[in-house]
A and B are shown apart, each in its own frame.
Chain A
Amino acid sequence: MALVVSCLQVFQRVITIRTAIALFALSSAAFLSLIWAYVTSDFSVANVATNSHSMKPLLYKISGTWANHEGSMLLWIFMLSLFGMLVAIDKNLWPSMKAPVLRVHGLVTAGFLAFTLFTSNPFIRLPVAPIDGQGLNPLLQDPGLAFHPPLLYMGYVGFSVVFAFGVAALLTGRLDKRWASWVKPWILLSWSALTAGVALGSWWAFYELGWGGWWFWDPVENASLMPWLLGTALLHSVSVLQKRGALKRWTILLAILTFSFSILGTFLVRSGVLTSVHAFAVDSSRGLFILAMLAFYTGGALILYAAKAHHFKSGKLFAPLSRESMLVLNNLFLVTAAATILIGTLYPMILSALNLGQISVGPPYFHYTFVPLMVPLVLLMGAAPFVMWKKDDLRAIAQRLGMALTATLILLTIAYGVSAGKPLGALFGFGIGAWLFCGSFLWWAQRVRLFQNDMWMRVKSLPLPQWGMALAHAGLGLAIIGMVGSTLWLKEDLRVMSPNDSVTIGDYRLTFEGVEPAFGKNFTAIEGQFTATRNGGAPFTLKPQKRSYPVAKKNTTEAAIKKSFWDDIYIALGQPEKSGAWVVRIYVHPLIPFLWFGFMMMALGGLMSFAGSRKALKGAKS
């Protein structure tokens, strides 16, 4: 009897694995067919006809596949099945865990497949194929945006695997250090992809949309920030679980919530319950379908959690001054931050549901609530890596931090000199970023014993996850410096300029030469001609445009941007005045390149930790 049961079990597991692989093969066939339809401009497919055009460059024909709702859902499904397949072929994962993880993941995939099939079929044919397509919005024809959705989805969908691991742990009761080491690479991979995806979207908004900012606290943006914050909390709590076998119930809850927030994001974007600058055609049947999925997956997982969580034993208590407690504080700040954004984003919807009136929750709210949470978090972040596991001593930590503190003070003095101490808030923000950067760099320097004889050996033998952590933390430090610089040290000017007028802003000197007509493929424009120099260096020209697209009956303002190592200068044309004068808006965004570089370092750090944690997993097996 026992033999039969175990035979059945083995058979079931084999079937589960084969199914996951077959699902991947089939959904990639579907996805590739749609890409093929785009590449060959098959306008008998309704989706291609509305979103593509035969004259587009190949890259944008391909990226056009996911630049619309139906195609993006197919990309989502392709990613889901890809991750499912990767789990299925993972040799380091024990079958006893692999099978339940794949079952849960398959259930998630089924939901999204049903959603796509019943509400968003990308393969609907037109009875009569048009001669040419309606084309892709020119703003979407940008390399940043071609790769933004795939990376973002990779992040969201990667967390579905983490979700499946969480639910599988609740189902099987297995939740230990090994579980943590299995799930950790998935968290790191998803986190890196999400970081890169969010950063790329922000980059595109800054350069291509030309609104003069990179984050607007818009519901659609918040929807991607919430899973990022929770994912960040999760990747830290899972380390505690892996090292000390503690924070079990908490980690499971985070694993469930991170993916739930990814679904919530889809809902917010697709349902139209909130107003967003990234507004687009919404469909309430799609909204209801996603809401039903949210209720089923999140609701189901949380009910399971309510029933099973108490089975997992609490860990030992932590010493107040230990790496564990630092990571608990990290989680407290990150989760409170995510909750704050959730409250701010959904509050208008909740008031509306209760008929309590309409309110707007704009950037000022988030500046008052989110920023105060980040300040102590980042201060703590600079110091936390220096704190030992289990138990540490305040005086010893202070000693290890001495160098970082000195370096920060030096940088702060330089910043004070350059900015003349104005405004104080910017200096404070800069100090926080500098502290995190110096702390992370010096932590790394101490680990590899920089400038000592055995340094190279230590550089080579420093484990990848430690490299990753130092890089990601230092990256955030740089990014904060970029954020502070580009918002609080922002120089802006709005003036009327006549031809040959000059203006000095920041390190730049600009001369307005006049306007000239300009012509593009599908637009005509008035182009301003500006000659600029930075600190008296080589002159360059800036050509902001006011375009009009006759076919689309649209006018757009194309800002001209010149990047340099330290700052970006940004010019936009406004209204014409009398006698050849124009209203001109000029921004200088100091330190903004640090922001993009910092984001890149974070994503790269995450990838290094991912590689390290996979390597550790292989090592543990053999």
Chain B
Amino acid sequence: MMKKYALYILPALFAALLIAAAATVLMRGDDPSVVKTNTHITAPAIGIKGPAIVNFFASWCVPCEAEHPTITALAAQIDTYGINYMDSQEKADAFFARLGNPYKEVFYDTEGQMGVEWGLVGVPTTFIIDSNNMIVYRQDAPLTPAQVESDILPLLEELR
């Protein structure tokens, strides 16, 4: 008899589990469209030596412009390389003429192939690689001065 009742409780239990899962996601405020990307993989070889910062940017990207002063400040502390993404050298040069070129070296990824190599989702994206060229940090959004203070400077200290 008990077994028979158990059968009829199943739909309610199942509904409860689903609602609990939905509530968890909702309360936590997960955004399903934001991709969680991996770190601790070896950076694609582009002929640079870590520790270093690799920053993807484009002249057509407005947040990149907002991020520019932060990158300029960081570049004084560590080797910082720029990868100009889905853009052209002329446009990048115009961008530098306007705002200054903070990078030690600039690579041009006009077709987005380097972007794919790095698993890029959008620009700006910033990677920090250690002396073994391992990606130890990545940020899929503009860097803010507060973040540099709280996360990045301590990390750079560690890497040295």
Q: Which residues of A line the B interface, CB within 8 A?
A: 249, 253, 256-257, 260, 267, 271-275, 279, 284, 287-288, 291, 294-295, 298-299, 302-303, 305-306, 309-310, 346, 348-350, 352-354, 357-358
Contact with A along B32-69 (1 / 0, CB 8 A): 11011000000000000000000000000000000000
Q: Closest B-chain residue to A299, C-beta based?
A: B15
Q: Closest A-chain residue to B19, C-beta based?
A: A295
Interface size on B, residues (CB 8 A): 25
A273-B25, A310-B8 are known contacts. Are A298 and B33 too (CB-CB below 8 A)? no
Choose one: A299, A309, A352; the contact of B30 (CB below 8 Å): A352
With A299-B15, A303-B12, A310-B8 already in contact, 6 other A-B pairs whose C-beta atoms are closer than 8 Å: A271-B26, A273-B25, A284-B29, A305-B12, A349-B22, A357-B36
> A299 — which chain B residues lie within 8 A by C-beta?
12, 15-16, 19
| Measured CA separation A295–B23 after assembly (Å) | 10
Q: Closest A-chain residue to B29, C-beta based?
A: A284
Q: Closest A-chain residue to B32, C-beta based?
A: A275
B146 at the interface (CB under 8 A from A): no
> B31 — which chain A residues lie within 8 A by C-beta?
272
| Measured CA separation A358–B24 after assembly (Å) | 15
Q: Closest A-chain residue to B16, C-beta based?
A: A299
> B18 — which chain A residues lie within 8 A by C-beta?
346, 350
Choose one: A274, A279, A358; the contact of B35 (CB below 8 Å): A358
Query: In the bound complex, do residue B32 and residue A273 qualify as a contact, i.e. CB atoms below 8 Å apart?
Result: yes
Q: Closest A-chain residue to B1, C-beta based?
A: A310
A487 vs chain B, min Cβ distance (A): 27
> A291 — which chain B residues lie within 8 A by C-beta?
19, 22-23, 26
Query: In the bound complex, do residue B15 and residue A288 qualify as a contact, i.e. CB atoms below 8 Å apart?
Result: no
A295-B19, A299-B19 are known contacts. Are A352 and B12 too (CB-CB below 8 A)? no
A-B CB proximity, top 5 nearest: A302-B12, A353-B21, A353-B24, A306-B9, A309-B8
Q: Closest B-chain residue to A267, C-beta based?
A: B22
> B8 — which chain A residues lie within 8 A by C-beta?
249, 305-306, 309-310
> A305 — which chain B residues lie within 8 A by C-beta?
8, 11-12
Q: Closest A-chain residue to B28, C-beta based?
A: A353
| Measured CA separation A354–B27 after assembly (Å) | 13
Choose one: A257, A310, A349, A350; the contact of B4 (CB below 8 Å): A310
Query: In the bound complex, do residue A352 and residue B32 qualify as a contact, i.e. CB atoms below 8 Å apart?
Result: yes
A251 vs chain B, min Cβ distance (A): 14
| Measured CA separation A271–B26 after assembly (Å) | 8
Query: In the bound complex, do residue A349 and residue B19 qualify as a contact, i.e. CB atoms below 8 Å apart?
Result: no
Q: Which residues of B line the A interface, CB within 8 A?
A: 4-5, 8-9, 11-12, 15-16, 18-27, 29-33, 35-36
> A357 — which chain B residues lie within 8 A by C-beta?
36
Query: In the bound complex, do residue B19 and residue A294 qualify as a contact, i.e. CB atoms below 8 Å apart?
Result: yes
Query: In the bound complex, do residue B16 and residue A350 qualify as a contact, i.e. CB atoms below 8 Å apart?
Result: no
A310-B4, A310-B8, A352-B32 are known contacts. Are A302 and B15 too (CB-CB below 8 A)? yes
B17 vs chain A, min Cβ distance (A): 9
| Measured CA separation A390–B114 after assembly (Å) | 68
Query: In the bound complex, do residue A310 and residue B5 qualify as a contact, i.e. CB atoms below 8 Å apart?
Result: yes
| Measured CA separation A249–B8 after assembly (Å) | 9
Q: Closest B-chain residue to A350, C-beta based?
A: B21
| Measured CA separation A271–B29 after assembly (Å) | 10
| Measured CA separation A253–B29 after assembly (Å) | 32
| Measured CA separation A302–B7 after assembly (Å) | 12
> A275 — which chain B residues lie within 8 A by C-beta?
32-33
A274-B32, A358-B35 are known contacts. Are A288 and B12 too (CB-CB below 8 A)? no
| Measured CA separation A298–B12 after assembly (Å) | 8
| Measured CA separation A214–B27 after assembly (Å) | 34
Choose one: B11, B23, B30; the contact of A302 (CB below 8 Å): B11
| Measured CA separation A272–B32 after assembly (Å) | 8
A310-B5, A352-B32, A358-B35 are known contacts. Are A273 and B22 too (CB-CB below 8 A)? yes
| Measured CA separation A298–B20 after assembly (Å) | 13
A401 vs chain B, min Cβ distance (A): 37
A302-B15, A305-B12, A310-B4 are known contacts. Are A358 and B26 too (CB-CB below 8 A)? no
Query: In the bound complex, do residue B32 and residue A288 qualify as a contact, i.e. CB atoms below 8 Å apart?
Result: no
Q: Closest A-chain residue to B11, C-beta based?
A: A302
Query: In the bound complex, do residue A288 and residue B11 qualify as a contact, i.e. CB atoms below 8 Å apart?
Result: no
| Measured CA separation A291–B21 after assembly (Å) | 11
> B36 — which chain A residues lie within 8 A by C-beta?
357-358
Q: Closest B-chain residue to A273, C-beta based?
A: B25
Chain A to chain B contacts (Cβ below 8 Å), 18 pairs: A273-B22, A273-B25, A273-B30, A284-B29, A288-B27, A291-B22, A291-B26, A298-B15, A299-B12, A302-B15, A306-B8, A306-B9, A310-B8, A346-B21, A352-B32, A353-B21, A354-B21, A357-B36
A294 vs chain B, min Cβ distance (A): 6
| Measured CA separation A287–B18 after assembly (Å) | 14
B121 vs chain A, min Cβ distance (A): 12
Q: Closest A-chain residue to B9, C-beta based?
A: A306
A343 vs chain B, min Cβ distance (A): 10
> B30 — which chain A residues lie within 8 A by C-beta?
273, 352
A285 vs chain B, min Cβ distance (A): 10
| Measured CA separation A352–B33 after assembly (Å) | 12
| Measured CA separation A348–B35 after assembly (Å) | 12
| Measured CA separation A512–B96 after assembly (Å) | 43
Query: In the bound complex, do residue A306 and residue B12 qualify as a contact, i.e. CB atoms below 8 Å apart?
Result: yes
> B19 — which chain A residues lie within 8 A by C-beta?
291, 294-295, 299
> A271 — which chain B residues lie within 8 A by C-beta?
22, 26
A273 vs chain B, min Cβ distance (A): 5
A253-B11, A299-B19 are known contacts. Are A352 and B25 too (CB-CB below 8 A)? yes
Choose one: A253, A273, A306, A346; the contact of B26 (CB below 8 Å): A273
| Measured CA separation A303–B12 after assembly (Å) | 6
| Measured CA separation A352–B30 after assembly (Å) | 8
| Measured CA separation A110–B5 after assembly (Å) | 31
| Measured CA separation A310–B25 after assembly (Å) | 35
| Measured CA separation A295–B22 after assembly (Å) | 11
B138 vs chain A, min Cβ distance (A): 16
Q: Closest B-chain residue to A303, C-beta based?
A: B12
> A354 — which chain B residues lie within 8 A by C-beta?
21
Choose one: B5, B11, B15, B21; the contact of A349 (CB below 8 Å): B21
> A253 — which chain B residues lie within 8 A by C-beta?
11
> A288 — which chain B residues lie within 8 A by C-beta?
23, 26-27
Query: In the bound complex, do residue B5 and residue A306 qualify as a contact, i.e. CB atoms below 8 Å apart?
Result: yes
